[in-house]
Copies of this chain bind each other. A is one copy, B any other.
Amino acid sequence: MLNMASGNTIAEVASLIGDAARANMLSALMGGQALAAGELARHAGVTAQTTSGHLAKLLDAQLIAVEKQGRHRYYRLASPEVAQAIHALMTLAASGPKRHRPVGPRDAALRLARTCYDHMAGRLAVALADSLNDLGYVRLSDGAGRVTPEGQRFFCDFGLDMGTEPRSKRPLCRTCLDWSERRPHLAGSLGAALLDKTLDLGWVSRMPESRALRITRAGEMGFAATFRLASDWRDPALPQDAAPGAA
């Protein structure tokens, strides 16, 4: 047995995520909001006691963090790195052997628009990324993103104050592979600011108990006018291969 130096602790982390109940909790937290223990219990489908044990472990490993408020305890992911790891696992899970991929019932809403930790994902997010790229406001050269000078102005006009808080560690503009669409969308602090702003404007709103986002009437108009979305952005993107022709 050689070189187990780090291999061991990665197993610890992975096995923490590798329990169905905990995975469900973490997935729920990928929505970006802090959730109370009880809500997490329901997401996981286990009793409160069991949940408590799980949360203690996750906390201990610093995968999540807690904030107590009155008699509630609100849990959130501990860092963007955690979100990234979970995201990578989601990608892997989605691309794995088909076998039993039920593509759940309420998934439709999730596929259309949802939060991904602190930014948007789903078809809306992919369409936004496409448009911003086409308009020349960002340059999404595979896996990475860059804001152009025009983009800088555009986002500034739109009311995002990116740049004012250069919390150095955080990339301004990353792309994040959308696990449902298999195409990149905007992440990084730009992505986060965009979500904040559109929530603020009331263009989208969080659906209760879910990561899904509802697109409001105002949002319909706003997104179309400001970001010039293609008219067919709601159509499911055919994953990479299939021909685009038929309805």
Give the B-binding residues of A (Cβ under 8 A): 1-20, 22-24, 26-28, 42-45, 60-63, 79, 81-82, 84-97, 101-104, 106-107, 110, 141-146, 169-175, 179, 188, 209-211, 240
Q: Are B8 and A23 in contact (CB under 8 A)?
A: yes
Say yes or no: A23 contacts B10, CB within 8 Å: yes
- Given A18-B17, A88-B85, A145-B144: A96 touches B4 (CB 8 Å cut-off): no
Contact B27 A93 (CB under 8 A): no
- Given the interface pairs A93-B13, A146-B141, the reply to whether A20 lies near B7 with Cβ below 8 Å is yes
Q: Would you give the shortest CB distance from A146 to chain B, in whole angstroms? A: 6
Query: This chain: how many copies in the complex?
Result: 2
Task: State which of B9, B86, B142, B173 has its C-beta within 8 Å of the C-beta of A171.
Answer: B142
Could you say which residues of chain B place their CB within 8 Å of the CB of A179? 6
Docked Cα-Cα span, A121 to B9, in Å, equals 19
Contacting residues, chain B, for A104 (C-beta < 8 A): 3-6
Task: Look across to chain B and name the residue whose beta carbon is closest to the beta carbon of A79.
Answer: B95
Q: Say yes or no: A11-B2 contact (C-beta < 8 A), given A143-B144, A145-B144, A171-B142.
A: no
Residues from chain B with a CB closer than 8 A to the CB of A26 are: 7
Bound state CA distance, A241 and B5, in angstroms?
Answer: 24
Known A8-B20, A10-B89; further 19 A-B contacts with Cβ < 8 A: A3-B210, A4-B24, A5-B107, A6-B93, A7-B20, A10-B93, A11-B24, A12-B18, A14-B14, A14-B15, A82-B92, A85-B92, A88-B88, A88-B89, A142-B170, A143-B188, A144-B144, A144-B171, A144-B173
